[in-house]
Amino acid sequence: MTFGWGLGVGAVALIALLYLLASIRIIKEYERGVLFFFGRYVGIKEPGLRLVLAPIYRIVIIDMRTIVEDVPPQDVITRDNVSSKVNAVLYFRVIHADKAVLQVESYRYATSQLAQTALRSVVGANELDALLSERDRLNATLQQILDFQTDPWGIKVSSVEIKHVEVPLEMQRVMARQAEAERERRAKVIAAEGEFQAARKLADAAEVLATQPGTLQLRYLQTIVEISSGNNSVTLFPLPLELLRALEAIGGRARPGEERPSPDGPPAAARVEH
């Protein structure tokens, strides 16, 4: 009888020990425990060794680290009626563990679904050019929308990044032709600007030569030197206008139909062919 009584006490002690061991919870440094007493929220347990006597108490462990969630590719039609497929990556973390448990059934699933709908909404409200060239603005808009809507759940959305934009092959060809046309336009504009600057410099040089007649003579001589430096069969020799005027005075009035050299014009040139 005594043996049976001792065996029963030992069994009860073993069961109690196993119960206590099963009630031990270890909360890591990056986790928080949301504690319930008969289904009622009673507080948050900090990291460390905690004793949770089930079923009286129940604890839900929440990871407080930043979570990286892939947003699946979404078929979106942009504002300019271009069909595209867009995916993104979402960075968020739980700030208030109690709200993440009490306010939403599954905060990760809810945040992922919300990110998908927000991505379709924001991309659909913009044109394709903005989607390709203004990703920073779209990322900031998505982050603000998601952060505002997940705030009641105790979640902080730190960043949303659009990863890839897939457009149809026909649209890629159109974009390539557009980029080529844009490069040709820029090349023509640069060439026109160069011609305009060159014409302005020539006009400035003409003004200087007009005020200094001697420089015009030197320019003619320099041009003749440049012409005669090559293998040319024609050589030009400039004749001063004063010499022509003297010959005209000696010969009298010029014959009818002949033009007199302008007193302000460049010196005449004699042509000799070899």
Q: What percent of the chain has pLDDT over 70?
A: 73
Residues 111, 49 share a domain:
no
pTM for the full model? 0.62
Residues 252, 201 share a domain:
no
Residues 258, 175 share a domain:
no
Is 180 part of a structural domain of the chain? Answer: yes
**CATH (domain of 150):** 3.30.479.30
Q: Please say which residue of 24, 46, 63 terminates a domain.
A: 63
Is 198 part of a structural domain of the chain? Answer: yes
Q: How many domains, the chain? A: 4
| Rounded CA separation 46/111 (Å) | 25
Residues 143, 98 share a domain:
yes
Residues 163, 103 share a domain:
yes
The answer to whether the peptide bond before residue 55 is cis (omega within 30 degrees of 0) is yes
Is 33 part of a structural domain of the chain? Answer: yes
Residues 76, 110 share a domain:
yes
Beta bridge partners of 76: 84
Residues 153, 131 share a domain:
yes
Provide mean pLDDT across the span 21-33.
90
Residues 86, 160 share a domain:
yes
DSSP state letters, 121-161: HHHHTS-HHHHHH-HHHHHHHHHHHHHHHHGGGTEEEEEEE
Q: What percent of the chain has pLDDT over 90?
A: 37
Residues 153, 101 share a domain:
yes
User: What pLDDT, in 10s, does the model give residues 218-271?
Assistant: 666 677 666 666 665 665 556 665 666 676 777 665 455 555 554 454 454 444
Task: Indicate the DSSP class of residue 29.
Answer: T
pLDDT at 144: 94
CA-only gyration radius of the chain, Å: 46
Residues 260, 192 share a domain:
no
Is 265 part of a structural domain of the chain? Answer: yes
User: What pLDDT, in 10s, does the model give residues 169-225?
Assistant: 777 677 677 777 777 888 888 888 888 888 888 787 777 767 766 666 666 667 766
Is 218 part of a structural domain of the chain? Answer: no
What residues contact residue 22 under an 8 Å CB cut-off, 6+ apart?
54
pLDDT at 269: 47
Residues 86, 33 share a domain:
no
Look at residue 44 and tell me whether its pLDDT is greater than 70: yes
Is 42 part of a structural domain of the chain? Answer: yes
What residues contact residue 95 under an 8 Å CB cut-off, 6+ apart?
154, 155, 156
Residue 248 belongs to domain spanning: 224-273
Is 3 part of a structural domain of the chain? Answer: no
- More confident of the two residues 146 and 182: 146
Provide mean pLDDT across the span 103-110.
93
